[in-house]
Structure 1
Amino acid sequence: MTNRRSIRVREDFAATAAEQGHTTKTAIAQAIGLDPSNVGRVLRGNAKPSNEFIAGALALGSFEDLFEVR
């Protein structure tokens, strides 16, 4: 049996984004180039971050500051 790992946003993702001046999910979405509803689902934990989400989010900070691998 293989133990599959996945990437998740860190609990403090929104706080890290806020440090960059992106204080709402709409502002975060604009900064990373995605729809606010997609950002909201990822931040709530209802969806895993897509490759596009991860790539765009790197404009807000380092991978280690924004994501965790479980």
Structure 2
Amino acid sequence: MKRVIFNEMMDGICIDRIIRDYRYSMPSKHVHDEYEIYYLLEGERYYFIENQTYLVKEGSIVFINKGQIH
């Protein structure tokens, strides 16, 4: 399940607040023309970036460069 709480573009920066349950995963790998900063509020999940998988835990911040497959 994915529930979007907040989604707004401010000065060229997209800010999202999304709640996902533990079963949620992206349907396919993708890229952005922008940087992505991901902050995990609670729990843990695996995050795929380029050719590596990372275990992201509560309170972690993930930075993804423009054009990186994730």
Query: Which protein shows a greater Rg?
Result: 2
More helix by share: 1
TM over 0.5: no
Give me the TM-score of the superposition, normalised by structure 2.
0.27
Q: Which has the higher contact order (CA 8 A, sep 6+)?
A: 1
Give me the TM-score of the superposition, normalised by structure 1.
0.27
More strand by share: 2
